[in-house]
Amino acid sequence: MAQVRDYNKLAHDIIREVGGAENIVNATRCATRFRLVLKKTPEHAKEKIAELPGVITVVENNGQFQVVIGTHVGDVYAAAAEILHLDENGAAAEQPKQSVVNRIIATMSAVFAPFVYILAAAGLLQGALILITMAVPGFANTGTYEVLSFMSWTPFTFLPIFIAITASKHFKCNTYIAILCCCALVNPTWAEMASRIAGGEAIRFLGMKLSETTYTSTVLPPLILVWILSYLERFIEKKLPDTVKPLLTPLLCFLIMVPATILLIGPASAITANGIAKGYNFLAGTAPALAGAIIGGFWQVVVIFGVHWGITSVVLANFDMYGCDIFQAFQTIAVVAQVAATFGVFIKSRNKEFKGVALSAGITGLFGITEPTIYGVTLRLKKPFICGCAGGAVGAVVMSFFHSAYYAYAGLPGPLTVVNAISKDAQMSFIGEIIGCAIAAVIAIVLIQMIGFDDPVSKDAVIAGDAETKDVKATVEEVSEIVSDAAADKTVMSPLSGEVIPLSEVKDEVFSSEAMGKGCAVIPAEGKVYAPFDGMIVGLLESHHAVGLESENGIEILIHVGMDTVKLNGKYFTCHVEEEQQVKKGQLLLEFDIEAIKKEGYEVTTPVVITNSDEFTDVETEVSGKVNHGELLLSMR
């Protein structure tokens, strides 16, 4: 197979040779194959496509025209999806199945990651204004300050529109319809109507009373709007004639989603926010330490879902009634802990590009802007986010014993606002705040250094990075030894226990012909698949019948459980990893029910194939007969 990098061209060529988009009924993919259902197979299409650079072979099986591409099938499918408008037609690639928590985290990261630098840039401008006004208080009364201030708040004010753009791509719906709906939410006219409602005026829509909820700077309402829109749009598209779809689809989606949001979604998020505020007041009055642990530990979780603005009224009421507020003192420690976690990532990460992301996000966090730190760094890596929450909880509990509070309102609580805890009447307040912040920061950073995280290391930096971390005074012989050791470790342990057989005995010509690469197969004795080396998961489908891995020194392997088991759609398979996850040798990857799969009529023989075999002189099977997982199976030269 010739190497190919222009996957867009390959997708175009495949579609052309099978008779064009109008001849394709359905298109999906599995671990290695671009699967097409055609109205009619053109003459010589199989032979022509098999000769295309990047195609391993073509198989026609069970009514499917299967183009075997290998580990880059995802790239070809993505290109084909754009050409065939698969998002609109409902055909989609099988995606990795994740837990609910991981799916929420993945969604939040996917939505915010594309514009995290926009938020960071605005945050830096806000931080600069804070420093300037602290040094020159009169600057806040100038027109220059007003212009720069509204500029700095712009991406936060219109956050729903940014979310509309990225969430529409994530949920696969029309971006322009999503923007239209979210623009309506931040329309100044609605803000004026909401103000009138808050003043006591009753305004109704189709007889239903509207609430005073506004949507600038919100996260949850626009996110839920776009999520529901993705289903609504596809439903409407299926029902409408082609001639009126371009006009009526956006119209109907607009007429349904905007009223649904201001009548249901928005008020529901406001109720959630008010519930958080009431819960805090109760805890703060009865158990300050517990309130500190909860606010310090979970405040950033509340920020993720965008319902943190509900506490603002409580904070302002506290200042009005008591002249101080405990909540913002706790909140500051939560922010400090998350910022410290970001710097902890900066210290530990070996990826230069990601260190840059962490540093810029951390600097922005110093000014109380935590969205870049959360969505760009800590939440994306998961463990650092948890470390930050743990540090915040402990720091806030310690602070509670000093009875610290804020005596001036902080628009954006963070490291630079700790001076708001200074009071002549409560001298220990500032000391307690500083101690709490210091403890939170130290715990977050130390935990990250101890626990670590899945560092997004670039592939070409793995071996080079190891060498660079050696003492600068290392001799030529020591460097040579590093390179030799890395080159020598071209072995693969068995991912399964069972009986080893040659690939030639596998009942699938793609594997038996070694078109996918060299290797062997294992008839499993138990339904468990383990990592054959230290590396990263590079391919994992919702069906969980196959997993692709890449070792730290460049070995690419495909473990394909059974024949045609993709048709089970994940039934009888349990996955314990995620795509792009770093794994250790011997770590459990998959479990499957051997007997249940056999009863469904499928083979369980599992090919173990080195998909980049052409990069090695030879691939040898080192064992015959019985093998246990973790024992030497393959070696490369």
Catalytic entry in 30, 181, 437, 520: 30
Q: Which two tokens stand for residue 628?
A: 């246990």
Please state whether the predicted TM-score (pTM) of the whole model is above 0.85.
no
Q: What pLDDT sits at residue 531?
A: 94
**DSSP structural state of residue 549:** E
Helix (H) or strand (E) holding 35: strand 33-38
Active site residue 30: yes
For residue 100, the model assigns a pLDDT of 65
Phi and psi, residue 573, nearest 5°: -115, 140
CA distances from 254 to 157, 165, 260, 354 (A): 21, 16, 10, 39
Contacts of 267 (CB under 8 A, 6+ apart): 211, 213
Closest to 30 in 3D by CA, of 74, 80, 83: 74
pLDDT at site 106: 63
- Ranges of residues in the chain whose predicted pLDDT is under 70: 1-5, 30-31, 61-63, 71, 86-106, 108-110, 112-113, 116-117, 119-120, 123-124, 127, 273-274, 276-277, 305-321, 409, 411, 457-489
Shortest CA distance to 539 belongs to which of 522, 519, 516, 571? Answer: 516
Cα→Cα distances 352→128, 427, 444, Å: 26, 44, 21
How long is the chain?
637
Distance in angstroms between the alpha carbons of the first and the last residue of the chain:
20
User: Identity (one letter) of the amino acid at 407?
Assistant: Y
What are the CA-CA distances from residue 95 to residues 529, 578, 617 (Å)?
Answer: 20, 11, 34
The confidence score (pLDDT) of residue 82 equals 82
Both tokens of 354, joined, read 């990601």
Contacts for 475 with CB less than 8 Å, ≥ 6 apart: none
- CB atoms inside a 10 Å sphere around CB 423: 17
- Among the listed residues 146, 35, 18, the one whose alpha carbon sits nearest the alpha carbon of residue 86: 35
Q: Answer whether 522's CB lies under 8 Å from 494's CB.
A: yes
Domains of the chain with bracketed CATH: 7-89 (3.30.1360.60), 490-636 (2.70.70.10)
CA-to-CA dists, residue 398 to 326, 387, 403, 420, 495, angstroms: 13, 17, 10, 18, 48
For residue 481, the number of C-alpha atoms closer than 13 Å in the C-beta half-sphere is 6
- For the record, the structure tokens of 221 come out as 């309402």
